[in-house]
Amino acid sequence: MSEVSVTKDAGGPESATDKLVVLDNINKHFGALHVLQDIDLTIARGEVVVVIGPSGSGKSTLCRTINRLETVDSGSITIDGRPLPAEGKELAKHRADVGMVFQSFNLFAHKTVLENVTLGQIKVRKADKQAAEEKARALLDRVGVGNQADKYPAQLSGGQQQRVAIARALAMDPKVMLFDEPTSALDPEMINEVLEVMQQLARDGMTMVVVTHEMGFARSAANRVVFMADGRIVEEATPEQFFSNPRSDRAKDFLSKILHH
């Protein structure tokens, strides 16, 4: 478990009532498997929500529905007051506003690190090449890989690749960032460098949805913990409440398994 401590912004997100992401009664099936069952979730602007739960509980799927990498069978998803559009140009525009970081990094293998970060700005935001590069270099510095700009992704360590992936998402100036198990594919010694970048983002007030197994991160950076099991949201609470005094048996069982060794 990584122990990256941070003092939370006391008044911020709790006082913000502005709803940025609203999931209303989401249902989704994978064949016979009912992977998301009546999911209601509202995320306020500036809030950091950590989704935890056993594998197969639907937390990654939930994360991916927010930018429609997974379609839903029923229910509505609204981001910043606008409902999620169907496939097409509108959806592409919408996705540009939602940053996504994947478990397997998914950096463009045929592009350099710098190009990975400028590509979206130039092709999607139609930014000027010079400006895009300046911004990309600033972001790469911010995540601590500024000196790797001209390398290809395969030449970087996992931790470095994931930080580039975060920079790539940030380059689009997203309204919300989705993290789908960002540290699960990393060697233990590289987990912290990625979590630190995420902590910094959280401190800077970025709205974040983080699917993770890093309880240390959940404890220190989350405003709210969402516990999922078997396709349902079983429990929602502040990290203090959740980790010290979980209400549901399912959560107690889960925590006893992961915290006691």
Partner 1 sequence: MNVLLDNLALFREGFLGTLWLTIVSALLAVVLGLVIAGFRVSPVPPLRIFGTLWVNVLRNTPLTLLFLVAFFVVPKVLFPGINSFVLAVCACGFYTSSFVAEAVRSGINTVPMGQAEAARAIGMTFTQTMRIVVLPQATRTVVPPLSSIFIALTKNTAIAGAFDNVDLFNVSKTLSNDGYDIAVIFIWITLGYLVITYAINGLFRLLENRLEVAR
Minimum CB distance to partner 1, residue 212 (Å): 18
| Touching partner 1, residues 176-215 (CB under 8 A) | none
Residue selected from 17, 31, 81, 89 as contacting partner 1 according to rule CB under 8 A: 89
Long-range (24+ apart) CB contacts under 8 A made by 170-174 are: 170/99, 170/139, 170/142, 170/201, 171/117, 171/118, 171/120, 171/121, 171/132, 171/135, 171/136, 171/139, 172/96, 172/97, 172/99, 172/120, 172/121, 172/124, 172/125, 174/96, 174/97, 174/98, 174/99
Shorter beta-carbon distance to partner 1: residue 45 or 168: 168
Shorter beta-carbon distance to partner 1: residue 6 or 119: 119
Minimum CB distance to partner 1, residue 239 (Å): 27
Do strands 48-52 and 176-180 pair parallel, antiparallel, or not at all (unpaired)?
unpaired
| Touching partner 1, residues 55-84 (CB under 8 A) | 67, 69
Shorter beta-carbon distance to partner 1: residue 137 or 203: 137
| Touching partner 1, residues 91-130 (CB under 8 A) | 92-100, 102, 104-110, 119-120, 123-124
Nearest to 77 by CA among 61, 69, 87, 65: 65
Shorter beta-carbon distance to partner 1: residue 111 or 247: 111
Minimum CB distance to partner 1, residue 154 (Å): 8
Q: Which residues contact 82 (CB under 8 A, 6 or more apart)?
A: 94
40: three-class secondary structure by DSSP: strand
Piece of the chain touching partner 1 by CB under 8 A; list 3-11, 48-56, 85-93, 141-149: 85-93
| Touching partner 1, residues 144-163 (CB under 8 A) | 152
Q: Which residues pair with 49 in a beta bridge?
A: 209, 224
Residue given tokens 């130039």 in the structure block: 122
Shorter beta-carbon distance to partner 1: residue 120 or 231: 120
Tokens found for residue 9:
């912004």
131 near partner 1, rule: CB under 8 A: no
**Side by side, which strands form the sheet with 98-101?**
98-101, 176-180, 207-211, 48-52, 224-229, 232-237
Q: Which residues bind partner 1 (CB under 8 A)?
A: 67, 69, 87, 89, 92-100, 102, 104-110, 119-120, 123-124, 152, 165, 168-169, 172
